[in-house]
Amino acid sequence: MQTSNVWNFGPGPAKIPTSVLQRAQAELLNYNNTGMSIMELSHRSKEFENLNNKTQRDLRTLLNIPNNYKILFMQGGGNTQFSAVVYNLLAAKRHQLGEDLEEEFNPPLDYLVTGSWSSKAAEEAKKLYDNINIVFDVKKLKGSYGSIPPKEEWKLSGSKAAYVYYCDNETVNGVEFNHIPEIDPSVPLVCDMSSNILSRRFDVSKFGVIYAGAQKNIGAAGLTVVIVREDLLIRSKIFDNKNSGIPAIPSMLDYKVMADFNSLYNTPPMVSIYISSLVFEWLLELGGIEAIEKTNSIKAERLYEAIDNSKIYKSPVEKSVRSKMNVPFRIQQEELESEFLKGSIELGMLQLKGHRSVGGIRASIYNAMTLEGVDFLIEFMKEFERKHCQ
């Protein structure tokens, strides 16, 4: 059931399940019989403490998160995590090396660059630290994003690295890893899962840090979910030494501070946490990640099949790494794209325009997008092709 007569294919903020919006609407003036809106509650209240803890428990259930991981509810989106990762993982590496380290502390930070977001992450890291190792940059190798090189071409730093960073799903470019990168087991794997978290099953224990902005597949904008392994929160005593060479972590970016305060160091994004809790309940009622993964596979298969079997549409992404969440495509005669987008809007299909940096068309088909919506888009694509292939 639609909330209106539109289909929202936006990349983020994105479509939220109709039943979630309806429940939020019903509870807006009186959350949990408090007589107050969730927007009015104190973040120190028992009601919000219960909500905060339940939201964490439901996410832990959905992703089968081991007990030695903390779930943090932070703010600032992926762009803020670009910096937070550098600060926190350098501190963790310093602890790992021990307090009697004699050589200069300058471990490399490894970055796999597969698209716009991992490129931005690497550039932000360079502002804070001078030893950034680009394991590979697909654009520099191939001229454009749309593939992932084979492992034998990667230039990893091995055990010397403080972490290895990658973006699991490039929202702009439609590139998604079909596997978890294999790296030195002593090095934390850090992953931006902003646009595909909760869309498929994966082994959380393979990671040191996972983060995701909520506005794509979790809920409403304003919340960033961080999942961090507890051993990476331990700080060496030398960390308190201003001459240690380790940059001091701003409190709002410090994973340990957030974990110690159960994400309540300051006023959290309460409404976004609330909406996320409703989305988690929705997913659990559907049958969890296994169930939604099957639906997501069907949606993506149908849409890519329509593109591949077409005489006018083309995908810029290699088949083996095509995203199941963000599907970019072009029209052979690119001058027709504006007509396609105009026609789609007239039929209530919104936010299909590709990112300004790459152009074209992009359909974001997150968990909340139904099979009906994808089929509606495909029918329009076929009709548009018939019109221009006569």
Alpha helices (H) along 112-230 = 116-128, 138-142, 214-217
Token representation of residue 136: 């590979």
Q: What is the dihedral of CA 88, 105, 95, 252, to 10 degrees?
A: -20
Q: Are 331 and 312 in contact (CB under 8 A)?
A: yes
pLDDT tens-digit series, residues 39-66: 999 999 999 999 999 999 999 999 999 9
Q: Is 216 a catalytic residue?
A: yes
Domain 288-388 indexed as CATH 3.90.1150.10: yes
Spell out the per-residue pLDDT of the chain, length 390, in tens.
444 689 999 999 999 999 999 999 999 999 999 999 999 999 999 999 999 999 999 999 999 999 999 999 999 999 999 999 999 999 999 888 887 776 888 999 999 999 999 999 999 999 999 999 999 999 999 999 999 999 999 999 999 999 999 999 999 999 999 999 999 999 999 999 999 999 999 999 999 999 999 999 999 999 999 999 999 998 766 555 555 566 789 999 999 999 999 999 999 999 999 999 999 999 999 999 999 999 999 999 999 999 999 999 999 999 999 999 999 999 999 999 999 999 999 999 999 999 999 999 999 999 999 999 999 999 999 999 999 986
- Pick the closest to residue 334 from 361, 309, 356 (CA basis): 361
Q: Is 117 a catalytic residue?
A: yes
Hey, which CATH number is domain 25-283, 3.40.640.10, 3.40.50.150, 3.30.1780.10, 3.40.50.970?
A: 3.40.640.10
Catalytic residue among 117, 168, 299, 353: 117
Token representation of residue 165: 């960073």
User: Given this model, what pLDDT does residue 390 score?
Assistant: 67
User: Given this model, what pLDDT does residue 52 score?
Assistant: 98
> Residue 222, by phi and psi: left (phi above 0), alpha (psi -120 to 50) or beta?
left
Query: So where are the chain's domains?
Result: 25-283, 288-388
Catalytic residue among 70, 216, 256, 324: 216
Catalytic residue among 58, 110, 192, 254: 192
d(CA 223, CA 272): 6
User: Given this model, what pLDDT does residue 67 score?
Assistant: 98
Say which amino acid occupies 356.
R
